[in-house]
Amino acid sequence: MALLTPPDSMITATERTGNVPGRRSGFLTIPVSLAALLIIFSTITRLALMLKAGQNVEYGPVSVLSIFGIGLFYDLINSLYFILPLMLIGWLTPGRLGEKKGYQWVMHSLVFVMMFLLLLNAVSECVFWDEFGSRFNFIAVDYLVYTQEVIGNIRQSYPIEVILGLLVVLSVFLTLLMLRVANRLAFSSMRFGMRSLALAGYLILVVAAFVLVDNSTRQFSKNTYNNELAGNGMYELFAAYRNNELDYDQFYLRLSDRRASSDIRSLVKTPESHFLGNNPFSIERQIVNSGPELHKNIILISVESLSADFLGSFGNKLGVTPFLDSLARESLLFTNLYATGTRTVRGLEALSICAPPTPGQSIVRRPRNEGLFSMGNVLKSKGYQTQFVYGGYGYFDNMGYFFEHNGYQVVDRAALSKEEIDYENIWGVADENLFELASRQISLATQAGKPVFSHIMTTSNHRPYTYPEGRIDIPSHTSREGAVKYTDFAIGQFIRNARSKPWFSNSIFVIVADHCASSAGKTDLPVNRYKIPLMIYAPGLVKAGTMPRLMSQIDLGPTILGLLNFSYRSKFFGYDIFKLEAGRERAFISTYQSLGYIKHDSLVILRPQKQAATFMPDFRDGSAKESPINKHLVEEAIAWYQCASSQFRKGLMKK
């Protein structure tokens, strides 16, 4: 094949009749040239990301050499995968067909497309790094599923048309330059037999890379930024797709099933509960609370990306949450609560089914997630009308399907007419319109004589950070701080309006974050990047004050139910923090691979490849010093995570 044919003056009449020495071919030339460009682009991208990371990177000679040396290895592996289409086409194309101009135009167009993809990948990696402080990962895989929201978000955040135009022009220039250089350096032509031998050798390398190489090699440092820089973005996207769901039993340290089950039953047992049935693998138990049940309306607001350190109550000096800070003084403020993960679906999972995070995909996104034991189902059994109110479209991240099939009525953006929307971006309507919708739904439910459980999920604190102008003193589309302040404004407007509603005096308001604004840090699981605020506001029912005990996001459901004196059958893993004996507090934090367990002043991290480590974390800056393995604590962590994974897989989380 000749993807690129030299000038006619270089080819003799004899050479035109078949594959002979002296004739030039693009079979290897173009793929090798494109692979070389991939490595060059990847190296430049790695350097750019290192500059973005700044002082977060460890810059010792060994570290820098490792970053670029290991990075080169992954660039080479990625180049093997990237040139596969060209290698297969070149192998199948007869020499005479390769000389035809029409064919060459087609192939040169393919080279242009691949060049454009290389440049687009480099730009996309920089954008993703700005948002998440990492290479492409599980989040990027999720985003490929929801292209409408993601592309819309990018268009609203960046001058995408200008960027794409520049990339097209640069791609044309680089394609022409590469073809010209490749023409001069072209390999000799090969007959089909020789092409087959060359392809066989190449495919052996591809298969060996697929079987023998994973992304664990880049985990050479205790500094997470160094490890991320040593990777290759395209390869990491491929690796994240392969590991979309991680089987706990296959990849993590485990106990015997009986030992893990025995341990978890001991760990979830609390004074107000007793187990039901004789199944040794079940955690089903009866929760018995004394006193009359209080059928109050429960208004649960989960706020997008509201890190604790945005609030003045946690030391922020910028004044971006004036209403929430004032409300905190009238509420019970929880000051030591940790989110289970780094995605909205993780927060929703924790708040609805009260279970530790499982490796890989959130249960909200997994198949067979219908009919789970959830807050919605518990409260429906108590006569509540339960609803999930969301400012975007419920299909995103499978949220609508999950809540609809687990005891909630789903009310989303589609319930609003155009006249009811003051502003919207790709993620959803402005938070003030979301709260107007929620207020209407709550009023309708209470007028029907039923208490209501309304879980409201905000969207405004999300890139592109746009909201209606004139509401706050920070212009729209300027910063996350502006988005935080706007959400604070919208919550304030909602609470103030609620005070005039007949259902207000019979309601408790629970305000919590779904996760933090950023999870990036020097360590794998920086604990300070998981700390979120929680306040319960119910004048006359809940006394204002602070609750400093360590608490997980999965404990919120049982704590609310306990606060209302509900007795109920439970399959929750969470604790009622008010009933829990001192010293038993713990919290869970995670990425899609690393599973963290906080207890007392220690952090256990379970990782794939059946690894475990114990750390002494600094809860202020997120740094962590590795300490000798605490076997007892590691086994506790294993019991929690192993049982959560197996209970979902075996259907034991079903209601």
The two tokens of residue 254 are 């485990």
Identify the DSSP state of 396: G
Q: Is the pLDDT confidence value at 512 over 80?
A: yes
Residues 176 and 104 in one domain: yes
Residues 191 and 109 in one domain: yes
571 within a domain of the structure (yes/no): yes
Residues 31 and 103 in one domain: yes
Tell the burial category of 304 from Cβ atoms under 10 Å away from its Cβ (0-12, 13-18, 19+): buried
96 within a domain of the structure (yes/no): yes
Tell the burial category of 253 from Cβ atoms under 10 Å away from its Cβ (0-12, 13-18, 19+): middle
Residues 555 and 420 in one domain: yes
Residue 504 CA to residue 509 CA, distance in Å, equals: 9
Q: Is the pLDDT confidence value at 188 over 70?
A: no
pLDDT tens readout for residues 4-19: 443 333 333 333 333 4
484 within a domain of the structure (yes/no): yes
Specify which of 2-16, 118-132, 174-188 reaches the highest per-range mean pLDDT.
118-132
Q: Is the pLDDT confidence value at 20 over 50?
A: no
Residue 465 CA to residue 304 CA, distance in Å, equals: 11
Residues 181 and 306 in one domain: no
Residues 305 and 401 in one domain: yes
Estimate to the nearest angstrom the gap between the alpha carbon of 307 and the chain centroid: 16
pLDDT given for residue 26 in this prediction: 62
Residues 227 and 310 in one domain: no
**DSSP strand pairing (595-599 vs 187-188):** unpaired
Give the chain's domain count: 2
Residues spanned by the domain of 155: 8-242
637 within a domain of the structure (yes/no): no
pLDDT given for residue 35 in this prediction: 94
Residue 501 CA to residue 509 CA, distance in Å, equals: 14
pLDDT tens readout for residues 237-294: 888 776 556 789 878 999 999 999 999 999 999 999 999 999 999 999 999 999 899 9
pLDDT tens readout for residues 444-493: 999 989 999 999 999 999 889 999 999 999 999 999 999 999 999 999 99
Name the one residue in this structure whose structure tokens are 């004032």.
Answer: 326
The answer to whether the bond into 21 is cis (omega within 30° of 0) is: no
Q: What percent of the chain has pLDDT over 90?
A: 75
pLDDT tens readout for residues 590-616: 998 899 999 999 999 999 879 999 999
- The mean pLDDT value for 116-142 works out to 84
- The mean pLDDT value for 222-230 works out to 90
122 within a domain of the structure (yes/no): yes
407 within a domain of the structure (yes/no): yes
State the number of CA atoms in the 13 A half-sphere of 481 facing the CB.
12
Least confident window among 20-24, 185-189, 535-539:
20-24
Domain boundary among 242, 264, 280: 242
Domain boundary among 575, 590, 623: 575
Q: Are 125 and 228 in contact (CB under 8 A)?
A: no
Residue 583: phi, psi to the nearest 5?
95, -10
pLDDT given for residue 58 in this prediction: 92
Residue 87: phi, psi to the nearest 5?
-65, -40
pLDDT tens readout for residues 327-374: 999 999 999 999 999 999 999 999 999 999 999 889 999 989 999 999
Residues 345 and 462 in one domain: yes
Higher pLDDT among residues 192 and 2, named by residue: 192
Average pLDDT, the chain: 90
pTM for this one? 0.79
Higher pLDDT among residues 102 and 637, named by residue: 637
Residues 358 and 499 in one domain: yes
52 within a domain of the structure (yes/no): yes
Residues 491 and 568 in one domain: yes
Q: What percent of the chain has pLDDT over 70?
A: 92
pLDDT tens readout for residues 73-108: 999 999 999 999 999 988 888 766 766 777 788 888
Three-class DSSP category at 180: helix
Quote the crossing angle between the two packed helices 556-563 and 344-353, to the nearest 10°.
40
Estimate to the nearest angstrom the gap between the alpha carbon of 26 and the chain centroid: 42
pLDDT given for residue 403 in this prediction: 98
Q: List Cβ<8 Å contacts ≥24 apart for 434-439.
A: 434/389, 434/390, 434/391, 434/458, 434/459, 434/490, 435/490, 435/491, 435/493, 435/494, 437/389, 437/391, 437/411, 438/299, 438/389, 438/411, 438/494, 439/494, 439/497, 439/498, 439/501
Residues 238 and 302 in one domain: no
Domain boundary among 198, 227, 242: 242
Q: How many angstroms separate the Cα of 88 from the Cα of each of 93, 113, 281?
A: 9, 17, 52
Residues 420 and 322 in one domain: yes
63 within a domain of the structure (yes/no): yes
CATH code of the domain covering residue 394:
3.40.720.10
pLDDT given for residue 59 in this prediction: 94
Residue 158 CA to residue 179 CA, distance in Å, equals: 32
Q: Is the pLDDT confidence value at 434 over 80?
A: yes
Residue 503 CA to residue 494 CA, distance in Å, equals: 13
